[in-house]
């Protein structure tokens, strides 16, 4: 039996079902003793037939809601990040389907103990770590942490544009703070380390390394230096060659630069294919448009890999430009899938890039086309 099978009045719109169930006029301001007695007996009878302990724990939480809320408010205020979201956290505690005693024990634990080991979480090893290596809280603390990762009240516009997992981490250690202030350039701060967090949760891919220009090919063909005819340029061009059947119909940048049909030509003249060195120069210009904050050496190295460039050769440029733009010192990737939570922390991309999957890039025609998506494998 589920919780909603026996609730009486929990929200507007429930009045009619409740009235039919108990034969009580819920719109009335007064009830006679018999109505109240009958209602109490029917609720008690239903509860006695419930054999799902999680449902019973929820009933207990509702009956003790006021007390749990007061205790939650007191203990969550012990952390500066949790204090900002105390109402949402208190609601989450009430909704946990565990005994009330376990909830109170967790709240006391939260107020007196740091459950995260930051030196293990922010280890700069470039090696994937399981939650067991950096979390040392009780089972209830683990349950609460996992629930907080992708909770709607703790991410996005409801939480200063915090991403998934950021507040969960910050709330479980007093010296780790979340950058929920719009002026903050970091997601998490621990000492002098300004950490950018990218989390894949709920079956979704990881966060993106935002490009300065997601449509560099459009910018290039509008410039005076363009060798490509804007009227002939495909509306969507991928960065990489693909072996997937579904992607073969979409031209890639090598197709475009090596095929004279896309080039500007004077009337009556025959198009001449671009030499490979000129193709590389155009490719370099596209990288400069997309990732202007990257070091010239990185861009040159990536350009020289054309036409055999891959996500691995472009990633250092995308990462460096994004890092300079956001002004963080390290990155933490997190993957939350059910009970399995894995993290990877690094400053230097080269020690970690083999541990995660990099998404496709598009030079035009696709939303966030050049913003590389990184997902921990």
d(CA 354, CA 291): 21
**What is the pLDDT, as a whole number, of residue 94?**
86
Residue 214 and residue 368 in contact, taking contact as beta carbons nearer than 8 Å: yes
Instruction: Specify which residues 330 forms β-bridges with.
Output: 195
Residue 333 and residue 195 in contact, taking contact as beta carbons nearer than 8 Å: no
Residues in the chain: 377
**What is the pLDDT, as a whole number, of residue 248?**
58
Please confirm whether the linkage preceding 307 is cis (ω < 30° from 0): yes
**What is the pLDDT, as a whole number, of residue 295?**
96
DSSP state of 368: T
Residue 198 and residue 189 in contact, taking contact as beta carbons nearer than 8 Å: no
Kindly report the pTM of this predicted structure: 0.80
Residue 22 and residue 38 in contact, taking contact as beta carbons nearer than 8 Å: yes
Residue 138 and residue 359 in contact, taking contact as beta carbons nearer than 8 Å: no
Residue 352 and residue 126 in contact, taking contact as beta carbons nearer than 8 Å: yes
17: enclosing H helix or E strand: helix 15-22
Structure tokens at 45: 């009878």
Structure tokens at 104: 């109170």
Pairing relation of β-strands 356-358 and 129-130?
unpaired
**What is the pLDDT, as a whole number, of residue 56?**
53
**What is the pLDDT, as a whole number, of residue 70?**
84
pLDDT digit string (tens) for the chain, length 377 residues: 333 333 333 334 444 443 443 443 444 445 566 665 665 566 566 656 766 666 555 554 554 455 678 888 899 999 999 999 999 999 999 888 888 889 889 999 999 999 999 999 999 999 999 999 999 999 999 999 999 999 999 999 989 999 999 999 999 999 999 998 878 889 999 999 999 999 998 778 889 999 999 999 999 999 999 999 999 999 999 999 876 655 557 899 999 999 999 999 988 888 899 999 999 999 999 999 999 999 999 999 999 999 999 999 999 999 999 999 999 999 999 999 878 899 999 999 999 999 989 999 999 999 999 999 999 88
Instruction: Specify which residues 200 forms β-bridges with.
Output: 335
């Amino acid at each position: 039996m589920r919780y909603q099978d026996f609730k009486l009045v929990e929200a507007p719109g429930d009045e009619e079902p409740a009235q039919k169930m108990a034969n009580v006029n819920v719109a009335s301001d007064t009830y006679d003793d018999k109505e109240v007695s009958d209602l109490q007996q029917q609720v008690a009878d239903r509860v006695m037939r419930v054999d799902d302990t999680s449902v019973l724990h929820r009933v207990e939480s509702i009956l003790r809601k006021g007390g749990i809320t007061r205790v939650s408010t007191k203990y969550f205020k012990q952390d500066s990040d949790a204090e900002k979201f105390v109402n949402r956290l208190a609601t989450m505690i009430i909704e946990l389907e565990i005994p009330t005693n376990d909830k109170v024990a967790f709240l006391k634990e939260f107020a007196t103990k740091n459950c995260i080991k930051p030196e293990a979480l922010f280890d700069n090893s470039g090696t994937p770590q399981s939650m067991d290596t950096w979390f040392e809280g009780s089972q209830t603390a683990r349950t609460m942490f996992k629930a907080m990762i992708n909770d709607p009240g703790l991410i996005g516009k409801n939480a200063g544009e915090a991403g998934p997992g950021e507040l969960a981490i910050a709330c479980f250690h007093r010296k780790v703070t979340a950058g929920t202030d719009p002026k903050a350039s970091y997601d998490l701060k621990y000492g002098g380390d300004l950490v950018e967090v990218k989390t894949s949760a709920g079956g979704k891919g990881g966060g993106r390394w935002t490009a300065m220009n997601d449509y560099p090919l459009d910018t290039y063909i509008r410039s005076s230096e363009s060798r490509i005819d804007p009227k002939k340029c495909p509306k969507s061009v991928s960065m990489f060659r693909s072996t997937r059947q579904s992607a073969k119909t979409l031209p890639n940048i090598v197709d475009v630069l090596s095929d004279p049909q896309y080039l500007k030509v004077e009337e009556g003249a025959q198009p001449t294919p671009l030499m490979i060195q000129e193709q590389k120069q155009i490719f370099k210009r596209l990288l400069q448009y997309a990732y202007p904050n990257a070091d010239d050496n990185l861009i040159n190295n990536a350009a020289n890999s054309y036409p055999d460039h891959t996500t691995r050769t472009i990633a250092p440029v995308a990462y460096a430009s994004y890092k300079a733009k956001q002004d963080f010192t390290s990155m933490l990737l997190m993957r939350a899938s059910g009970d399995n939570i894995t993290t990877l922390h690094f400053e230097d991309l080269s020690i970690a890039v083999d541990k995660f999957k990099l998404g496709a890039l598009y030079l035009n025609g696709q939303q966030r086309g050049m913003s590389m998506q990184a997902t921990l494998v």
